[in-house]
Structure 1
Amino acid sequence: MRLGLAARFGAVIALTGVLAAGLTGYYGYSASRQMLLDAAEERLLTATRVLARQLTLELGNVARDVLLFAEHPVAAQLLLRSDPQLQERTARNTAILFERMLLTHPQYFQMRLIDTDSYGQEVVRVDRQRDGVRRVPEAELQEKGHTPYVYETIRLPRGSVYVSRASINHEVGAHMGSEKPVLQMAAPVLDAQQQVRGVIVVNVDLEGLFQQLAADLPAGLQLYLMNGEGDYLIHPDKAKAFAFDRGQQARVPEDFPAASALLAEPPQRKAELVTHVGGRSGRVAAFVRQPRGDLAIEDDFIVGLAQPMDQVLAEGERLGRVNVRIVLGFSALALLLAVLLARALSRPIGQIVRSVRGFSAQAPLVNELPSTRNDELGVLARSVHDMQRQIHQQFETLQLKQAEMDRLASHDSLTGLLNRRAFLDRLEHALAQARRSQGRLALLYIDLDHFKPINDRFGHAAGDALLQGLALRLQHLVRESDTVARLGGDEFVLLIEQGAADDGALHGVAQKVLAALSEPVPFQGQQLVCGGSIGIARFPHDGPTASELLAAADQAMYQAKTEGRHQARFARS
């Protein structure tokens, strides 16, 4: 029996409805799956970058602690061995300071002062033990002159910090640090004649430090830490961590072949990558090779984060099941009402397909679907719109998180000012614009006076409050066209792009800054008074590049310090 035209047209409409529903579900599922995968890759890479930056900052904090003791006059005095009674009292006070440092920093296993003139004999040593921290008796002190953290550190100039390779601590009598992953960070101790007398050494709990940095990461992420050769230092499978210490091999290229690009010297292209392994049942991973910075690091670190693919696509699977239910329901309806609704179905299905095909998370969400209908097509349209809205919301949330990460990467966490890296980018841009327009600009390099005594007397909280108060004053003092940044410690810099041609005006700005810095900052009933010294450098008068301008302003600032502090000096061309 031959079907009539209406039946055939109805069959075509029914098949078209089924096909349209299938395409809607397929494109919606494919788009959401790819967007979830892209978002997971970006989220992993961003989290890995932040983790690598936090590791760099934490190593810098340890380096500052090491330098604090290495440059303290008491350390050199203790190593001179001039007066036995004074030496014993000084050693006891030094041990107390070491104990307080270990109590304050749970990631420190051990602190030592080592005399390089006695075959690396330990003079003062404080270890972390299960019941707290303890000064090691003189009879248990050891000679450490044969260790790299002694003979490598004594070769370093003043103010440098040595960072050892990550290793398992096999030293005898290491207490809590015995057979644990450890980093040794050390700095030379110099006497008044700039002769090396010894070294300050801090043993850092590498695993505890890394877990502390990663404590705020979302659940389900797998953490990796490798050395510059790709050997695992931290791995979700404990058997692979420090396998080289047991004569075995477990390296990142074996699990993530693409990571081999990070092991080249220098790393190929850039020191970060995102890779997939194992297909749908595998993992997506991001790796970042940490820059060495200013520390004398024996080996690089590569930080990695991975997430199982099924977790990444879990939301996509849920949306896929929703799409399947919608497609099946609509297909059944289309088969039942194909003849009667042939004309009515063609237009709304076309709208839905066009909306899905033209959907983009970056474009504004426009509801052109037939959502006002009270039939199954309206349900389908509203479901598709809800799916698009959910994807938009997820993408907007990701963008907000990315913007916050970018802000944290470019701003000082204490004062909210631009940090050194962001300021240098701003300065380079301003210099390029000044060269094109043959304009001028000026730098005011600010270093606070007497900040360290305030920090030592009232504590770090007072120092932080002082820095925050002065930073806020500087922000209120400058114009919208000017830029103020914190370079680090108690050093600030002010970039003036308009009105920088007049030395008199620059001097007036400097005097306003000096007046603002000299005003007291209240803190817990105290009035903290600091002041500052300023060095002024002008473009192009004092240098054509950013580094030359900063160097000129820095030199002028030191001239102001030398000539009595709390004053401003122009750079000498």
Structure 2
Amino acid sequence: MINDVLATAQRVSYQAATAQEDQIAMVERFLKEMVEVPPLQDPESIQCRDFVRQVTQLDERYINVGVPNAFGILTCNGIPLEKPIDVSDRLYIKNALTLNKFTSSGVQRDRATEALTINFAYPVHDEKTQRVIGAGVVVVSLEWWQTLLTRLQLPENSVALVLDGYGQVVAEFPHGDNSEMPEEFNTIVSSEDQVRRVYSKHKVFGLGSDVELTFVTGISIDSSLALVEGKHRSIFIAFTITVLLILLLFRLFFLNTILRPLNKLADLTFQLGRKEKLLPPSSTGVREMDFLQDRFVEMSDRKSQAESQIIKQTLTDALTGIANRTAFSQALSEHLYYADTKENRLAVILVDLDDFKEINDTLGHEAGDEVLRTLARRLQEASEHCRLISRPGGDEFMLLIEHFESNENQVAELCNSLLKLIKHPICLPHNEVVVSASIGIAHYPEDGHDVESLMSAADQAMYYAKECGRDTVRRFNWELRRTLMEKIEIIKDLRKAIENEEFFLLYQPIVNIAGQVVKFEALIRWQHPIKGMIPPDGFIPFAEQSRQIIDIGEWVIKKAQKGWEVLQQKYGEQIQVSVNVSPLQLSYLKTANTPNSASLLTAPVASSKRPGHNGLVIEITENLLMDLDDNTQKALLKFREQGIQVALDDFGTGYSSLAYIMNYDIDYLKIDKSFVQKLGVDLSADSLCEAIISMSHTLGIAVIAEGVETKSQATQLKNFGCDFLQGYLYSKPISLEEALKFQ
């Protein structure tokens, strides 16, 4: 009898724990689907707030849904906020943003609702760059567990507790009973209320190895004994009456024609409930019973087929018919387990097609789908030693290699052969397509010990292959991860650099052939409070990738305008200040009430004595002319209409054509310093500089030579007819105060 009571307690605890585990799995699926919707691409937008407010009402267990941005600032929230809340110190938020995975908080007091909750987070990725731009968060109230305990219908005088990871009671039944944790489990314990109970507990672990919740159930022995005896008595009475009726009314006939067929049907029912395969039973001799038996077998077969189909669909990519990301993760997890016990080696290969979007844009998505199907077949046919080939999504394929020799060249040779295979022409109904791919490799155990770390390493290696020119293979190394972390840290620090006044401008003089200062180039510098001075090439590329270059560029323009107002007091109205402008600044359009960089450049300065004059010259690179979008093109045309002068920086290092230079009315060409510094040493550099100057003058364009460091370079440039000179021969970049004293 005690075993029955103990089994009841264990079953109740297990049911409650299973409900929590199901809750975690359901929240994870919910978050994965939610972060894919377009409104979450901008966590600070009104669309995001409207969306999460609607989502919060979908499930009574979700008392709040929110989306903090990549810095942990929460404005997009299901419950309206008076002001943004900083949740970046929450460990589960930080892990979701930096480790790029599904995380849980454990029991905590939620800042937005002030209630005891368990919170879950899942990273939101930019749909274009796949970088993390925020985290979807679901808040589950612990009051749900109080309701669950009330619905358990425990025997009289029974108790149930829910404990957090620190052993504190967060929910109990009966509510307000203030029950205490027993010192012993799975045995009879006399409580302070003089009721004897048998206690059982079941722990639920979080996404790591820590205990998230513990469910404790205490079943009263006396009430349970009475309940069991009552059930036994009722069963005995019912059984006795049934037997007497059978013996009196039907005897042997009833046994042979009714009871035995019914027993067979009961057995079939139990087997069906236990998901066992039903074999064709023998005939009962009763046609109706045989018909029912056949229907049960048919139901079992259909159920098995449906379950098999569902499992197959869950693990298969619908487009190509190969394994999907879920199947690959499961297979990799299983192979990691056996590889760890048998000391085997594994390799994860990530194949990402180069510029696949162009195929969809030019030939249509049907053509793109056919390309993916063709490549999937090729990979299957050519990779006979692969344990699994999958398509995790988009234009990516993943391969799992096992039992290769310790020489890693085997995997590298396989990847190089895959590159050649992928580049074979693909025949479509009306076109022939050639695609290339970038491949990243991660090895177990060198590059990771679990599914997430290995797939992340392969992903980083693949992006490194992209950076190395595409159509190549790269293996993961820890320097990649270190560089990525440094990049993330720089991007994070950039967000506060303007607010903390860490940026400043230096001004490098530009002189005419007579040695008179006629221009200055404004150059940004970053004095980091911890890392010290960071040169522009150490943060400008990251600022452009994170689009922070827009705000930084506007700060530079405003600061340079103020500097020009000061400089003209000494050098006169003719003095100019040039600023470097990123393509993002020109193409980015803000709201009607907030000007963009192009508008700031064309806006006249109040202190200028000439109407519409602001004294600034913008410097753009050659590559910007080759890749103009509509907004950038309009901005350049507006500069020409407003009389704003444009300088083409680093000329000779890019790919611009004379047609682009003529169409956009370029005022200055700046010869790159790499050519200037070879003057007098390399005859080709002499000829190139002379040709650039001659060509520019023919087109009516003035020439500025950068990087002039010696008098011989300056003399030779003057002989070639160069209009302006800039470099350390005249001055290094100096502060505005020093520029006012410069002679």
**Structure with bigger gyration radius:** 2
Q: Give TM-score, length-normalised by structure 1.
A: 0.43
User: How high is the TM-score relative to the length of structure 2?
Assistant: 0.35
Higher helix share: 1
Instruction: Compare relative contact order (CA 8 Å, sep 6+) and give the higher one, 1 or 2.
Output: 1
